A and B are shown apart, each in its own frame.
Chain A
Amino acid sequence: MKWVRWTLLAQLLFFGGWAAREEWNRQGPVIVLETAPVDPRDLLSGQYLQLSYRISRLDGVRVTGDLPRNAGAAVAVRLVPAPDRPDGRTVWRAAEIACPGPAIPVRQDPAQGVWVTGRFTARRFGGGLGWVEYGIERYYFNEARVKEFASRRSGAFLVECTVGRDGRLAIRRLVE
């Protein structure tokens, strides 16, 4: 039964490699984003909050190149800090969209803004230039915390994210 060992090895390598990549990506700079949560249920991964972000809606951003004609096209969005909240926190806003995106440096200087990657989904939703998804639209949590999340007011969350070294955003935690 050699094939069993080879198959297991392939599976372990895949999952190990995937974990290593995600751990490597967690080493990038940390930024805070504004959200609007809802609460559906995913059969694959249990409870999660469906999140949408202000940076997803491309209002008043500079366009470099042409906006994609097709949904699903890869784009890069430059985020800049915007310290204009009444509570004094610094959240990050979308300033520029590029398609095709520039080569993203492994180490980005947050003071100059950070480039993140996403997928252009549609022009039709919500007006503006369009809509971008970043792969951080779900926040998974334990079933034991359902009540805790149900009692929170929609839109009151901020999300702390890591900007991966490949430009992918990853959620670290929710902050009030």
Chain B
Amino acid sequence: MNWRDRWLDRQLDGWSELGLISAAQAGAIREQRARESAAARVAPFTILASLGGVSIGVGIILLVAYNWENIHRGWKLAGFGLLLAGLAEASARLPRTRPTLGAATILVWMAAPLAGIGLWGQVYQLSGDPLMPLLVWLALTAPVAWLSGNATAAFVHAAGVVVAVFTGSHVPGSPLSLEARGWWGEPPGEFRTTFAPALAGIMALWTYGAVVLTRRLGGASRWLFLVAFLFWLWSLSLWHTPFQCQAMGYQATLAAGLIALYWGALGPARLAGGRSDGFGTFLIALLLYTMTFFWRSHAPAFDFREELYVPLGFLLAMTASGVLLVAAAGARSGREARVAGWLLRGLVLLPVCLGGLILFWGLTGTVAVIANLALLALGILLMVEGVRRNLPGRINDGTALLGLVIATRFLDLFGTMLRSGFAFIVAGVAFIGLAWVLNRGRQSLVVRARGFDVGRNPDGSPRDAGVAP
């Protein structure tokens, strides 16, 4: 009996004693579990035989690898062709009889052309642009991603698009490269003639990846793709591209714009309903927290060179898109949801406004103060949302955020142990008061939901009188 079965056994005994389930039900659950365990158990000889098979396979591969240079290139290429044919045939037959093995074979078939490109490069001593092998691989495996019905294959294909975009845009000399190529201060003609076609090609790749995801995948895959896309946009400002600008004000505003884009693209329904998203909230909190440290930053670090009109246009396009997407989220019906929705939208757009204050007016001190207050507001909002929707994790997030801000600022502002000590005591009292208020709110919510007083049974007797609610 493994640890899971022992745990289940103990639980069943406990539940039987409490009267939650009958002895017959406990017995039926044990029998079902025993059947499942027997079905899942692998016979020892099967493991041994598999180990033997793997060892022989690895041995053959190593022997071939050692003598690789002595094998004529014709044999190598023909061997690869046979392997490709075998994988394709297995991908056609296996999914019907053995679905798991079939799915794995499809993935190996998908990887095979990339290995083939490497083999051809090795055999004919070819080197060059790393983007082209990726594009060729995407083209050769597109039918597998689209027609096999295998979700993992579609995901790998979309991931390949992301890798191709990053490789193409950040490797100098590649046809889709957005890296500036050693010439700075070129006239705008340089951007239009050189970078604009590359940008168009890259956007076509992103669009293709988005179509693959929309048609073939969803959920976490789309989320990952969106995050990759936004990170790529941000990378353009950090790498050596025409969009590069590392001024702090620029970076803060761009990050704020991209966060707004994230929220707007993720789901207008969330914004309209005032429902926070874990990762999105983390991004806002991280940016606001960073902004709180701008108080002591020197102005030159925030300088933005106005002559860089390409980065400025990029910044405006990104932030405007984000703001429009967030603003376009329609309000939900119901006063409470509407208020929460507007509050959330305000919170998402606040970093954009703060970024603008830094970028155009250099008001770092003002921004730091507002960011502190916004972080406190965000913490309280998370706690209120946690109470309202009965999400303990949200309450913990809010509490952690409040604790972080207060601890950082107290150490930052008060300096000495005596003053920090007083400040911590005051904050502690405020925390306890907040916890009391929130707990009262949670209790009244439970009462409204159940229709009776939490501390009493429906007949009005105290809860500990032994009557079940």
Contact = CB atoms under 8 A, between A and B. Distances in A.
Interface in B157-187: 172-175, 177, 181-183, 186
Q: Is the interface of A mostly helix, strand, loop or mixed?
A: mixed
Nearest to A8: B88
B118 A170 contact: no
B84 A44 contact: no
B268 interface: no
A143 B120 contact: no
Nearest to B127: A138
Nearest to A1: B92
A15 B81 CA distance: 8
A12 B85 contact: yes
B84 A8 contact: yes
Contact of B121 (A10, A44, A72, A123): A44
B321 to A, nearest CB: 29
Interface residues of A, number: 43
Contacts of A156: none
Interface stretch (A58-66, A89-97, A129-137): A129-137
A4 interface: yes
Contacts, number: 111
A86 to B, nearest CB: 28
B194 A70 contact: yes
A46 B116 CA distance: 13
A3 B143 contact: yes
B147 A72 contact: no
Interface in A23-57: 44-46, 48
B122 interface: yes
Contacts of A8: 84-85, 88
B136 interface: yes
A121 interface: yes
A71 B181 CA distance: 6
Contacts of B183: 69, 123
Given A119-B173, A139-B125, A142-B68, A11 B140 contact: yes
B182 A123 contact: yes
B301 interface: no
A44 B88 CA distance: 22
B126 interface: yes
A11 B194 contact: no
Nearest to A72: B173
Interface in B112-139: 113-114, 116-122, 124-128, 133, 136
Contact of B118 (A10, A44, A71): A44
Given A44-B117, A122-B181, A140-B122, 6 more contacts: A3-B143, A8-B84, A45-B121, A46-B122, A144-B69, A145-B69
Interface of B: 65-66, 68-69, 77, 80-81, 84-85, 88-89, 91-92, 113-114, 116-122, 124-128, 133, 136, 140, 143-144, 147, 172-175, 177, 181-183, 186, 190, 194
Interface of A: 1, 3-8, 10-12, 14-16, 18-19, 22, 44-46, 48, 69-72, 119, 121-124, 133, 135-145, 170-171
